[in-house]
Every structure is written in structure tokens, then in C-alpha cells.
Amino acid sequence: MDLNRLNFDSSFLITLMAATTFNGSVATIKTHGYIGNSALHRDFGNSSLQLSTKGFKIDLGLLGKNHYWSRKRGSCLIQASFSQATTVSDEVSTPDSIKVEPIKKSKAALILIRHGESLWNEKNLFTGCVDVPLTRKGVEEAIEAGKRISNIPVDMIFTSALIRAQMTAMLAMTQHRRKKVPTFLHNESEQAESWSQIFSQETEKHCIPVVTAWQLNERMYGELQGLNKQETADKYGKEQVHEWRRSYDIPPPNGESLEMCAERAVAYFKEHIEPQLQAGKNVMIAAHGNSLRSIIMYLDKLTSQEVISLELSTGIPMLYIVKEEKYIRRGSPAAPSEASVYAYTKNLARYRQKLDEMVH
């Protein structure tokens, strides 16, 4: 189908849908010139053209004397510079000076860490959403977790709103070889956001944003919180306490079941964390046994029966590679003192090599 000749000026934004060689393509033009027979003819001035179709994309931005356009087809990105007037036709011709770059598919690392031992873990008390810090052992576990992930890139950190998860994330990052600084984002109010703003772009490059979310908290144990686990078993019976702790859909008195915890944790993961991963960001989540079990249930497509038997050790990181919207579990990275392979993908291998070069 031929396009009728259109005259327009820079104050108009014209969107054209064509069914010529660019079958099903869309053209967006803002310029001073005209379109005729599916080709763009223009005079000097500011203008831009974007054509997109299945497997093919053209972006044309024409600014003054130095003009820029790019073409994407398959796995290549072609960029070039023009001067004078420019014509784009059904059969796109490329200039003599061409820069070809491969288009990278999004691939990312996802690290899950259950917090180190807390003071109430040590005392064998039901903790739930009570906010208690780590023990000395918990601190050591967090540092050891950091050594295990020290060669894996981290672009963003998510933690629960509880201090034991936040301590674990911060202590782990002290061991990272890139030495970027984790900085907590404060979006609870306009004033908090304004006061915590970083005004140096150079400094910001060396920071890792940290997001806290109550949705990643441990499940709320209701009236069991603060009770001794053994004394509670003696009072209510081992079977009843086991049912409260390990069943999927039976909550303790005035508390949450694993199912209820999963609803909030997985919903948050899908809405806030998954988009970061799909964009190629490497993410670490420091959270709790039940919120992480919930997320793993989603990642590994576990049934409600399979997830209740899933055990996560404190301070042991779990690595996933995210590729083409699939989550590939890689297990726990080995500590530096152990003989193992850190780089599970070529990208991670290149990242580790870059770190080695920086250190040496």
C-alpha cells in the first residue's frame, strides 16, 4: 500500500501505520518536510523519525548538521552519522561508516539470603515480626554469606523492614570486592526522600540502592511471638505446634499462615523485584525463612506440599540466574576458601575478571 503524500510542520506529531515492505510497521514523525511513497524527504531543521515492525526497528533523529540514526534487526545494532538531507526508503541503505554492536539479551543474578542467627533464635523463642538483632554468630554468618557472593554483581538490594535482615545485607556487602556502598532509600515521605538525596553523580555511581519492604518480613506468628518453642509444645502439644509452624494454610492464633505470608511476599516480588531482574539488574534479597520460602515456591514452581518441607539455613545464600524470564537455580556459591567455580555464566566470568584486574 502506498502512502499519500503528506505535508506537515514541526508543530505536528504524525503517526503513520504502513503495510508496505515494513509490514505492520509504525512511523512517528516530527519534522518540517513531507512523506511520499513510504520514504521521508526533509529539509534542514530539527526532526525525528521512528519506524518499528516485527524484527525491525529504525530510530532517526535529525538535529542540525550532525544527524543520527540507528537500525536494529535480529541481533545487531547499526549506528551511523549523516550530514545534509536524509532519505529512508523501503530498502534501507546504510552509510559507509557503520558501527555494529550485538544486542544483549537481559540476564541477571538473583541472590537470596536468610538472615543470620538472631538473639531470639539463640533463645529458642518464636520471633515472627518482633524486631530483634543478630547474635555474634549471626554476624559471622552474614559475613560468611558476603564472602560467598563477593564475586557476583549486585545492582540493587531488597530487605525486609526488620533489623536482622538489614544487618545481614549490610554485613554481607562489606565483603564484596566491588566495594560499592549500600544506601537505604527513604521514600516514606517527601521530606525523607529529599533529605536523603545524593547530589554527586560520581558518588551515586558507587552506591547500591537498598529498598526495605514490610512485605518481605517474616510471617507474623501472632500469639506465639515471644514464647519459648519447647514450652509452647509442652503446653499445646507437639502436633499442634508442628501444624502451626509447618502447615501451609493453618495460622497460629491471630497470626499468619505460610499461605498468607506468600500472598504478600510473592505479590511484592512480582510487582517490584521482577521488573528489575527482567531489566537486567542483579538483585540481592535479604529476608526470612518463610518469606523466602514463599518466593522460592514461586521461582521453582513448588506445590504447597513441597514448600512446607523446604528448609533454609541462616546465612547461606542461594543463587538464581534469570534468563529470558526463566529462573535457573544454581545453588549456594562456594566460599573463597573452597575449590569451586564462581562464574556460572559468561557475563559473571567477565565481571570477575574485571574485578581481578581492578584489585591487581
| Contact in structure between 166 and 194 (CB atoms under 8 Å) | no
Alpha-carbon gap, residue 227 to 252, rounded angstroms: 12
C-alpha cell at position 211: 529498598
Alpha-carbon gap, residue 313 to 294, rounded angstroms: 15
DSSP β-bridge partners for residue 285: 112, 158
Alpha-carbon gap, residue 113 to 90, rounded angstroms: 53
Least Cα distance to 54 among 19, 88, 23, 100 occurs for: 23
> Does 206 participate in catalysis according to the annotation?
no
Residue among 115, 117, 256, 274 flagged as catalytic? 115
Least Cα distance to 128 among 172, 160, 157 occurs for: 160
DSSP string over 283-300? EEEEE-HHHHHHHHHHHT
Residue among 141, 218, 256, 274 flagged as catalytic? 218
> Does 218 participate in catalysis according to the annotation?
yes
**CB burial class (10 A; 0-12, 13-18, 19+) of residue 337?**
exposed
Catalytic residue numbers read: 115, 218
